[in-house]
Amino acid sequence: MSCAFVGGLGNPLDVALIRDGIAARSASPLPTEAGLFLNYAGGAPVMVGLGVIVSIILWLRGQVRRAIAVVAIVFVGRMLVEGIKIAVHRARPALDPHPVITHSLSFPSAHAANSMIVFPLLALLFAPAARRTPWVVAGIAASLIIGASRSLIGVHWPSDVVAGWSFGAAWLLATWPLAQWLAPIKPQHDVVGGHHPAVGEI
């Protein structure tokens, strides 16, 4: 979490990358339009909403412990991000009038953290075991895109985004094994016509 101490207005790299985003938005409307879309796609209503929907689906399937685990991972992770924001108390970039109105503090990026928790988590929960890795990679890629857009539209210092990604990945890596222990994904075997490799079953 060294980004908490070396980032922001006093960091030349942070400032230079924010200015690059300003230049890109001045040259074309596309970066702004893409950034605004990703601002909503990676926002708390969508990320937390996905967590709630997944938990309801699991609950209705009778997987109560797994549903509770998903709620805990998503909601506690979100609350920890807000706690870090208060503790670090870093102001948002204000080098230009960026296109998004912000009310919270800057470090770390909640969009980056939440998406790094939720998207790979969905892949771990629902992707078949044989194809789980590429789906997790796709989830990570989606989070990287959302996080990068935060600096592009000037609402987060790049170090905020890196810290958000780092926290989200660390939180998921720490909590997923516990969730697996509490509510493991049971292997499913196809015994018709012989034995086949186990496939993850929700």
Contacts of 116 (CB under 8 A, 6+ apart): 140, 143, 147, 164, 165, 167, 168, 169, 172
pTM, to two decimals: 0.85
Largest interatomic CA distance in the chain: 66
Q: Are 152 and 24 in contact (CB under 8 A)?
A: yes
Q: What is the pLDDT along the chain (202 residues), one digit of tens a residue?
A: 566 667 777 889 999 999 999 999 999 999 999 999 999 999 999 999 999 999 999 999 998 999 999 999 999 999 999 999 999 999 999 888 888 888 889 999 999 999 999 999 999 999 998 999 999 999 999 999 999 999 999 999 999 999 999 999 999 999 998 888 776 665 444 444 444 444 344 4
